[in-house]
Structures are given as C-alpha cells and as structure tokens.
Structure 1
Amino acid sequence: MSDAVRKHREFLFPAVAMYYQDPIELVRGEGNYVWDDTGKRYLDAFGGVLTVSIGHANPKVVEAIVAQVKQISHTSTLYASAPQSNLAEKLASIAPGDLKKSFFTSSGTEANETAMNAARVATGRLDIITLRHSYSGRSLQTLAGCGQSGWKKIPLPVAGIKHAHAPYCYRCPFGAKDSSNCSLECANDIEELIQTETGGEIAAFMAETIIGSGGFMVPPPGYFERAVGIARKYGGLFIADEVQTAWGRTGQHWWGIQHWDVKPDIMCSAKGMGNGTPVAMTIATPAVADKFPGITFATFGGNPISMAAARATIEVIEEQSLLENCKVVGAYLGERFQQLKEKHPLIGDARGLGMMQALELVKDRKTKEPAPQAVIAVFEEAKRRGVLLGKGGVWGNVIRTGLMLNAGKPQVDELVEAIDAGLTVAAK
C-alpha cells in the first residue's frame, strides 16, 4: 500500500471511494497514459470520468495555464477579464441555436444548479422534469434531480422535481424489444407525468443527452424531438446537460444534442471542457439569461487560469480535427465492442457514441439479471494488464469507457484486448 493510499483512507471521508481491491496511486500522466508510484504504465480509458479530454499534460493547455499564472491568477467577475470574455465569445460561436450568454463556474454540479435556477426564474414555475437513471450533481437540488438511489443517501428536502422514464432501450420499461420498433413511449409518458404529477405547467425538461453515470444510455432516434416538444407544449424550457457529452466526445459534433434536431434554451457542460482544469459553463439564450435576477458571481467562475485552459482545449480540438477523429475512431471502438458482444455471453448490450462507449454485463441474456461482480473481475484483470476502466449503472453492471478524443485505433485495440481477457476471467 502506498503512503498516499494509506493517508487517503485515514484522512478523507470514507465516501471518497477508490477503485480496485488494491487502490492505485497515480503520479504522472502523458497523453493517453498514466503511471503509478511503482512506475507501471496504464492506458487511461476513463480519463478521470471523461474529464481529461485531449490527453494528460497536453502541451498547449499546459503552456496556456503557465502563461496565465505568470500574468494574473485570479480576478473576480466584478472586473472584466479577456480570458473570460474571449471564451464566452467562442462558446457563443459554436453553441447550437440561439445560445449566447454564459455563466462560468467550477463544476458540473454548479452548472446544472445554475441552469435549474435560471429556468425557474425565466418561467416563473417550479416543476422540473428529469430522467430516471440520470445524474446531475451533488448539491441538494441536483441530487434531487438524480435518478439513482445510490447517489441520494442524504436527505433531500427539495420540491419540484419529477422523474420521467429514461430512454433505456436495452431495458425498455414499455416492453419494446429493440429500438427498431420503438414508438417513443418513454418520451410520450412525459405528457402524462406533467398532467398528473404537476399543476399542468413546468419550468423545464432537463436531460443528459446520453445518460452518463446511469450507463451511457443513447436515446433512440426521435426521442428528444418528441420529449422537448411535449415539454414546450406545457411551457417548459429545455436544459441540455452536456457535462459528459460535449467537446466532440460523441463524434462529429461539438455537442451531443446535435445528434438530434432540437435546440436547447439552456445548456451546461464541465468535465472535458478544461482537460482536467476545474471549469464549467451554463450557456443560455438571451431571453433566459437576461432574466437571471440580482447580482451574482461564482468565486472561481471565470477564473482566468481555467478560462485559458478551456480556450486552449477548444483550440486543440479544432487544430487536430478531433471531432472527426472521435467519429472515426469511436465507430471503430463500437465495432470492436460489438465483436466482444458476439464472443462473450456476459455482455447483454454494447452501446454508445464516439468515445463514449459502454458494455452492460448480465448473468443471463434472457433474464438480463445484472452482473456487477463480473464488472469487478474485468476491472481487476484489465488493471493487471495496464488498462484503467470506468463503471456505472444503477446496479453497477456497466463498464464505461472514455478514451481521449485524440486516441487512435492502437489504443482501442489495447482497451479491447484487456476487456476481452477480463471477460474470459469473469466467465470462470
């Protein structure tokens, strides 16, 4: 046991859990790889929960951070700052629809909290529809919005959150066998939810464009068009939670929601935005942003160091054509995962978009009984082979992967070979 692991266990909340039976102390990272305190190298196939987006210690991002630290490290939003306003201008140029005005914070929790408050103020209504299986943060309001019991052990005296069925095609709550015969009942049910569980009008419909912590659930074609249409029929705004799906991670587009033909009124992101720097954004239409009340700021929101890191991250994505790389390499990853599914009965479903791909493990494909212990076995064997994975799902039975946006087919093959070996071990 390393000294850092020992101190972690002694001095941190026990709830700050670590992966693996023998936890790892990471001491260095470069590109797609990290090293532990013994010098062992690992392929980082989860990126700090999809947060290191363009590689550890990316030279351009490091240079931008160092240059900014040498100039000025902090100024509150009570003063104008070129790093902040330049980033806001750039976001307005790449955001979908009429999204124009940004509010910067330090985490996805803060970004989503800001969005929920902005929607309630703009509409004058309380009720917000979120999705089962979702995760939106760890403040009281965003935890109340979560659709997983495991995250909600803290008492949550927060009113006005209603949970609709998730677009969980593998376990369709309405009995559809697969997405090819889907009638979008999960989206249609939002209308009855509004009619029966609210006063008939709502503040917003808030959804991750791909449900992340819940297991990388990709909605079927037409889902968002139907769901957002219903929400707007009852006065609601649409909040697109892009904390995990933004910055090209789903391939081809900057934003996950661009895979569907809808335009958000509010959009949030964090994680990969600054390639590991604590930074988040809530961007809204002028109609929504201009109604946000009073005088407010986030102490580290708009911090020039984080702003510089985010701007450099966007520039790397543009200069290296990573939207296209993520589409091409992500498609290859999806093909390799489908091959794994054909080989291993433990895999009930293989799903995802771009560099956001998952495998759901089950004990039996007919009953779909979750197999969380199999995930643990795969984790341990993959770690032994030098590959770090992520997991999720309400039952802890989903392997989640988040390769860097600039990963290539060799990293995909390395990842798949480790999971393949892990599944073989788990099957025994």
Structure 2
Amino acid sequence: MSEPFAAVHHLTAHLPLNAAATYDVIVCGGGAAGVVAAIQAARLGARVALIEKTGMLGGTAVTAAVDFPGLFHAWTKQVIAGIGWELIEETAARGGAELPDFEVQYPHRRHWMHQIRVNRFVYSTVMDELCVGAGVDLHLHALPIRVEQDEEGCTVILGGKDGLQALRTRKLVDATGDANAAILLGYACEESPVQQPGTLIYALDGYRLEDVDQQALLQHYREAAAVGEIRITDHRPADLPLWSELKTRGGSANHIPAPGAASSTGRTRAELEARRSLLRVRSLLRRVPGLESLQVSFFAPECGIRETRRIVGEQTVTVDRYTSGYVWPDAICYSFYPIDVHSDRDGTIDVRPLQPGVVPTLPYGALVPRGSDHLLVAGRCIAGDREANSAYRVQASCMATGQAAGAASALAAAEGVSVREVPLAALRAALAAHRAIVPPA
C-alpha cells in the first residue's frame, strides 16, 4: 500500500458509523440513471441514499445543458417508460417540456426530432421532489473517495464540505457515468484507445444575423485557421464555418478532445480546453463586421462527456447484437438510438441508423461487474463495446438501466442475496409494476 493511500486508509478506518448512516441501497451519481435507480429502489421499500458531486440533480441534462432526453420511442411506439418517463411527464405537466408528436415517423437521420427539450430548472426540481417524496436521502456536494466491501455489503467513505463520512449499505449502484465506484472496488473496466470528444453547449447574443458580412466571416476564418487561432473541432463542418452557429445562436457545435475524462485530471483538461475553444470562437467572430457586439450569453457549467470507461460485465453488449435487435435471454429494457460515433479530429459524426423495425435490448448481465455480489452499474458505463456504447449511452436508455439497477439492488438487499442471484422473473415483475416496458421473456 502506497504511503498516500495508507494515510487515507488510516483516516477513514476509524470513522464513526451509526444507525442513521446505514442503508439498503446507496446510489452514486444523480443523473438520469442514478435518480431513477434511487426512486425505484425506494419505492420498493429500500432505505436509499443518493450521492451527487454537484449541487443539483439531473446530471448531463442540467450541468452540461444536454437538455433534450431521448429516445423513448421507436418507430412511433413507446419502448422506454417507467420512472424516467414519469419525470418527463411531470416536467411537461409543469410547463417545463413540450412533447413532440411521436406518431410522426421521421427519416432515419432525423431521430433527434423525437428528443424532448426540457427546462433544466423544472426538470431538476421534479427530480428533487420525486426523490424526496420516495424517501431518498440526498447527499449533494459529496463524492465517494473510498469503497470497501465484505460479505454483508459495502462501506462508502464520502468526502464532503464538512469532511469525511462513512455510510454502510447492503447494495451499491454506480451511476457515475465513469464507473467510479467500480474502480474503487477494484472491478475490471476498459477504455478505448481513442475516445469520443465532449461538447460544451453555449448560446450567443448581441447581433442581428442580417447585419453579418458572410464574405468577411469566411475571410477572417481562413486567416485565423492559417495561424491556429481557430480549429476545425471548434465548430460544425461547413462550407461557411461558424455560419450555422450564428444562425442557431450557439448550441452543441464543438468537439472537445477529452481523453481520460473519467479522472479528475483528465476532466480538468477537458473543461479548460472547452472554454478555450469557445473563447477562440468568440474572439474570431467579434472581428467580423456586424458581430462587434457579439457575446456569449450562456455556457454550460460542465463540458458534456460522451465516453470514458465501461465495466467488464457478466454480459457484453456488442454492436452486432445491438444493431440486430437481438433479444437477450436476460433482457431488462429496450434501447433506441443509432450508432453515433463522434470524431475527435474533424468534427464529423459516424451515424449509422438502425434498420426499420429494429429495437435493441439490453441484458441484466451488462449491469453486473464480473463477479460482483453487491455492486450494480447503470447508465453509459454498462458493459459493451465502443460502437454499441455510442448508442446506448443516451439519457432515456440510461434511465431504463437505472430503473433495472434500482429494482435489482432493492430485491437483492431484501432477500440477502448476491446481485447475480436476483431472480429474473421477480426483477421483470417489479419493473413492470412500476410502468417500465420490459422485453418479453
């Protein structure tokens, strides 16, 4: 044991643990997967704690402003419902979302038309209320810094604003998106040699589009590109670079290289580069006639990360099985999104739409780290290859795996069994009872 780790071990080994700090299920991560997992476990009668590193729930939809969850429908039919859909319905009921017409069948490459734009404030407060209403104990501004397990469960050491705290749980759900708890417990994970870039979402204001000199924009762009003042990954590929960003007044146009973003060091690099990228765009545009008063009126607090780690699971979702619509023997939910691999070099996207009628399924085994008894994983870091992961990483699919992980962890805790021993029939029945759509056995 290294000296720094030994010091942490010594500090945390003697933290007091009382009855108020013991749970049936602890969920790490308060995004799409984690919130749904926590609510589901609590509604099955488990005592649940939810740990979130920021000050609000919602994850990427809120802190990275990727505020368009999807996809819940495939080929005009709903395939993901349950607690995740309840969050959407309640947000819409409060005037925080407008549902598209799901009866319209869009061409393959317009799948995004069925994403649902949510108001981040309303959406996050709906999550607050549903968690608190279910009896979930929220631990915001906290991060697991050490996790240990034994035959009975796990001890989670939290680092927070008031120091260290020990929590005890029978079962643990890792919904961090980066497999943080899985890594702390020593489970095998994998990372692709080349990872998809992130995106910093932003908004522009302070100009009228009709006043912009397009030829001057092109000339300034070419001059800036020649000396490295702008990069091709700072904007969408286009014959007239940055014109689309001006027309849409910002959006999700950039590709931010984010290797190693599962770590704090790698994430720091990504956040710094994201803001430098936007600064390059702002600096160039303000030199163009008609854009002298352009301002960045909004930028997301975090760069949205697409890809980091994936666990090595009891099952692995491969691109062939995903795109074929294979129904896994232990399928617990559907997923619907095209293969969607973003390039970190030139801003292009490899989009491979699913064939008409195909609706992929996800297996329970992909949520179980190989050999795990107490830990389940939900969200984008479930077990799969890189191409399949590029599709099932989206928010609706994360909600579906979160609900499955929440139900399975509550059942395993109640029965005192390994997460690998949860009866599939009981899990499917619990999910169906809470409005989830479960593939047929």
Same fold, TM-score > 0.5, yes or no: no
Q: TM-score, normalised to structure 1's length?
A: 0.26
Q: Higher Cα Rg: structure 1 or 2?
A: 2
